[in-house]
């Protein structure tokens, strides 16, 4: 077998695959991550993303609780 035959393929040199998105399929798929930017004064109060998510969930629970009070 010729060594060069392994290197010969049908792809044209103008094909640029570096900009193609990588799509993961199967059981290893993860949830999409949304990135936001906090203002410096707000970011100073939260050491990490876990703290921000915890505070937002608390706010959501509080808002729902107030809505329920208004309905009764």
Q: Where are the alpha helices (DSSP H) in 1-72?
A: 40-43, 49-71
Across the chain, which has 72 residues, the per-10-residue mean pLDDT values are 60 78 74 88 94 96 86 76
CB 38 within 8 A of CB 46: yes
pLDDT at 1 (0 to 100): 47
pLDDT at 7 (0 to 100): 65
**What are the sequence ranges of the domains in the chain?**
34-72
C-alpha to C-alpha distances, 9 to 6, 13, 19, 22, 60, nearest whole angstrom: 8, 10, 20, 22, 56
pLDDT at 4 (0 to 100): 54
How far is it, in rounded angstroms, from Cα 63 to Cα 57? 10
């Amino acid at each position: 077998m010729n060594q060069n035959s392994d290197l010969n393929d049908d792809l044209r040199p103008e094909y640029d695959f570096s900009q193609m998105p990588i799509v993961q399929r199967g059981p290893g798929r993860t949830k999409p991550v949304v990135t936001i930017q906090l203002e410096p004064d707000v970011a100073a109060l939260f050491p990490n993303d876990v703290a921000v998510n915890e505070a937002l969930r608390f706010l959501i629970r509080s808002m729902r609780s107030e809505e329920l009070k208004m309905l009764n």
